[in-house]
Amino acid sequence: MEPEKSKPKIVVLASCCVDFITYAPRLPLPGETLQGDKFTTGFGGKGANQCVAAAKLGGDCHIICRIGDDDWGIKYKENLISFGIDITHAKITKGVSTGIAQISVAANGENHIVIVPGANKYLSTCDVEEAKVLVENADILISQLETPLETTYEAFKLCRGIKLLNAAPANINIVEILKYCTLLCVNEVEASMLVEFEVTISNIKHALQKLLLSGCKVAVITLGEKGAAYSSEEGESIFVPCKKVTPKDTTGAGDAFVGALAKFMVSHRDYPLHQIIGAACDVATKSVTKEGTQISFPEKYDAFNEVYKYTIL
Residue 58 lies in a domain: yes
> Which residues define the annotated binding site for K(+)?
249, 251, 287, 290, 292, 296
Of the residues 60, 255, 270, 302, only one is catalytic, namely: 255
Residue 193 lies in a domain: yes
> Which residues define the annotated binding site for ATP?
187, 222-227, 254-255
To the query of whether residue 139 is one of the catalytic residues in this protein, the response is no
Q: How far apart are CA 286 and CA 233, in angstroms?
A: 30
Average pLDDT over residues 73-90: 96
- How high is the pLDDT of residue 242? 92
pLDDT in tens, 202-229: 999 999 999 999 999 999 999 999 999 9
pTM of the predicted structure, to 2 decimals: 0.91
Residue 197 lies in a domain: yes
Average pLDDT over residues 113-119: 89
Residue 248 lies in a domain: yes
Residue 114 lies in a domain: no
Question: What CATH number should be reported for the domain holding residue 259?
Answer: 3.40.1190.20
Q: Is residue 7 very low, low, confident or very high in pLDDT (cuts 50, 70, 90)? A: confident
Q: How far apart are CA 166 and CA 130, in angstroms?
A: 23
Residue 57 lies in a domain: yes
> Which residues define the annotated binding site?
17-19, 45-49, 146, 187, 222-227, 249, 251, 254-255, 287, 290, 292, 296
- Spatial CA neighbour of 50 closest among 170, 184, 223, 166: 166
Residue 105 lies in a domain: no
CA angle 184, 190, 194 (to 5 degrees): 75
- How high is the pLDDT of residue 5? 59
Q: What range defines the domain where residue 209 resides?
A: 9-16+45-97+120-312
Domain total of the chain: 1
pLDDT in tens, 137-177: 999 999 999 999 999 999 999 999 999 999 998 888 899 99
Q: Is the pLDDT of residue 52 over 90?
A: yes
Residue 153 lies in a domain: yes
